[in-house]
Chain A
Amino acid sequence: MSSSLEQISDRSSTNPAIAVEQVSFRYGRELPGRPWTIERVSFDVARGEVLGIVGPNGSGKSSLLKLLAGLLRAGSGQIHVLGQASSDLSPIALARMLAVVLQEQTQVFPFTVAETVLMGRFPHRQAGWWSFGSEADTPGDLACAQRAMAETDVLSLADRPVSELSGGELQRVMIARALAQDPAILLLDEPTAFLDINHQLDICSLISRLREERQLTVVLVSHDLNIASQYCDRVLMLKAGRLSHIGSPAETIKPDVLQAVYECEVVVDAHPQTGKPRVTMPMRIG
């Protein structure tokens, strides 16, 4: 029993969660004049790692995340997810390994929170065509959804329409839907955007908790350098579609690096509790 477990973990540890090799991408492939949105980017994400992607506006952060999620197709280069080339995987197979929470999440219809989270079970559904769309959620689906909702603390909202939730509640419901997919990898696009500091803290501590309890690999895009510094194992900095720096917060969240990437001066000191780098805007006079 224990030896087989070791074998599995041995075999799995040989492949990183995500391996990106020389990936380039541009919108509108037919138009030759277009500049690359992502240009020859290579990096690995280790299993159980939390990687933060940061960079100036328009540097290609969200595009890179969508490439990892299989929502955009790389113009050249390869992306491997858990050792398999993502271009060879069917959408369903990819959805069983990797879940993504995007920024686009306006809720048009009043589905309940429980119904919305259960949509995360779609890649696992077993029903054949003969059920004509009438299949009910299985006990396994319900258990998965319930676990995800407990982890994100939205169980008490189960019967509320999603169209009536606040921003913080909706973000946690969206993460619950992604967790219901039972993925090995979770991708998050700006998970704390438009949230107040209380809810930002909620989401960030949730990410740390998920990594410990589920051994999830997390890749998150953020504008907030402090969130990247406090909650990520490594930080990847993009500049104009190219990988500029990658490394631990101590190696990347430094005045000279930030000056090079963002082309502005910042003040970096140590977080009073963790000692990790903390970024502050300088006073600019005149």
Chain B
Amino acid sequence: MSNGHATPLISTTGTRDGRGSSGPAAELEWSRSGAILTRRRRHLVLFGLLAASIVVTVLCSSFGAAALSGNDWLTALRELITPEHGDSAGTAGVILFQLRVPRVLMGFLVGGALASVGVTLQALLRNALADPYVLGVSSGAALGAAIAMLLGIGATSILLPMLPLWGFAGGLIALALIYRMAQSHGRLPIHSLLLAGVILNAVLTAMIMFITSIMDPARSAGLMAWLMGSLTAPGWIGLIGIALYVMAGIMCLLYYAPVLNVLTQGEDTARSLGIDTEQTKKRLYALTALLTGAVVSVSGMIGFVGMVIPHVVRMAIGSDHRLLMPASALVGGMFLVVSDTIARTAFAPAEIPVGIVTALAGGPFFLYLLLWRKDRMV
């Protein structure tokens, strides 16, 4: 992204010089100056980020209360492939494949989902400060989970897998409420949507606080930690289920990347370019709500990932959603994995909620933008 060189307000050369040259010449010139997103740049960035993601995943699985070396990894992998020791698997193997790797992968999925939902909502609401929690779907999911905990569902181990379902149901109910409140004449105007989101957030948060205050203190501490956002190691079946769900959701959002580009130009302009904006918006809000509800119900309210990551990635690689969407998903995944590793290890053996780490990293970054890079705050 070059912006340094001064261009005269009216250039006298452009009209005459430009007319003779053809498309491919423009592609060469524009790809060199970064004026357009080329296939090559897209592939380079994505392969680079994918490689970085693998490195981060392996490294972060090695850190923890017990640090694991490369040798431990090899032993564990060999045991996994040829379980000749019967049921007496090695400690390294248990730590890696029952605890660390599932948790790291879960963190990656949650971070990726939050970042791509953030990208989508920022484009839809035409606001670079929007995040996955702005519409109140997350508060609905949190309330659902809080009610489940109040009823004791989360406390008994048999019913523990029910918790995400309660959260998910809460998120869906919140989405239905927002649609009812914001819709007028079959349309979903941005302003009424944001207003409905703010109101719903306030009411639902009050209800969560009420539940926390009447709860048995021992359990309300657990609820608070969950509300601040925390990751736990899921079982492999649960992990695969969430992975399929989240990846399907992100693929759907990727499909809309060219449409999101056009939607940033304003709704009337997008319609004049052939987009059925009302239908597209409804589908995209539903997609983001389905992803947010699922993610909140498994990991609580992890803040800042969905707002800061799209912002940073946009500053680094540009605004085109064909690259911004997948790149943000990968960077968001890595960011949450690293944050969770800090949350696990900084005060080991005690853990702090990962939401605290992401907020402590994200808040000062926004302060930096506000104080020194005002021109970059869109």
Contacts and interface: CB of A to CB of B under 8 A. Distances in A.
B268 interface: yes
Interface in B360-378: 378
Contacts of B21: 146
The 8 A-B residue pairs whose C-beta atoms are closest, nearest first, are A143-B23, A150-B18, A133-B257, A95-B274, A92-B274, A159-B35, A114-B35, A142-B23
A118 B319 CA distance: 13
A264 interface: no
A202 B29 CA distance: 26
B30 interface: yes
Interface string B91-132: 000000000000000000000000000000001001110000
A264 B17 CA distance: 48
Contact of B274 (A30, A94, A149, A159): A94
A168 B7 CA distance: 14
A146 B23 contact: yes
Given A69-B272, A133-B322, A156-B14, 5 more contacts: A70-B272, A108-B126, A139-B27, A146-B22, A155-B14
Contacts of A120: 273
Interface stretch (A10-18, A99-107, A253-261): A99-107
Interface in A114-145: 114-116, 118-120, 122-123, 125, 127, 129, 132-137, 139-145
Interface in A83-115: 90-96, 98-100, 102, 104-106, 108-115
A164 B14 contact: no
- Could you say which of A70, A92, A102, A142 has the most chain B C-beta atoms within 10 Å of its C-beta? A142
B11 interface: yes
A110 B11 contact: no
A161 interface: yes
A115 B320 contact: yes
A133 B27 contact: no
Given A30-B185, A109-B319, A153 B14 contact: yes
B268 A102 contact: yes
Contacts of B22: 143, 146
Nearest to A163: B378
A208 B93 CA distance: 75
Interface in B27-68: 27, 29-30, 33-39, 42
B349 interface: no
B191 interface: no
Interface of A: 28, 30, 66, 69-71, 90-96, 98-100, 102, 104-106, 108-116, 118-120, 122-123, 125, 127, 129, 132-137, 139-147, 149-151, 153-161, 163-164, 166, 168-169, 177, 181, 198, 202
Contacts of A166: 9
B274 A156 contact: no
Contacts of B251: 132
B1 A110 contact: yes
A55 B262 CA distance: 32
Contacts of A168: 9
Given A134-B254, A164-B3, A149 B18 contact: yes
A181 B23 contact: no
Contact of B264 (A109, A135, A155, A158): A109
Contact of A108 (B9, B14, B321, B378): B378
B38 A115 contact: no
Contacts of B42: 134, 136
B90 interface: no
Contacts of B7: 156-157, 160
A161 B35 contact: no
B255 A129 contact: yes
A51 B13 CA distance: 30
A51 B15 CA distance: 26
Contacts of A150: 14-15, 17-19
A151 B268 contact: no
30 contacts: A28-B185, A69-B272, A91-B275, A94-B274, A99-B272, A104-B269, A105-B265, A106-B266, A111-B264, A112-B35, A112-B36, A115-B35, A122-B275, A123-B274, A132-B251, A132-B255, A133-B255, A134-B257, A135-B258, A141-B23, A142-B30, A146-B22, A150-B18, A153-B14, A153-B15, A156-B13, A156-B14, A159-B35, A168-B9, A198-B10
B319 A122 contact: no
Given A146-B18, A155-B18, A158-B30, A108 B272 contact: no
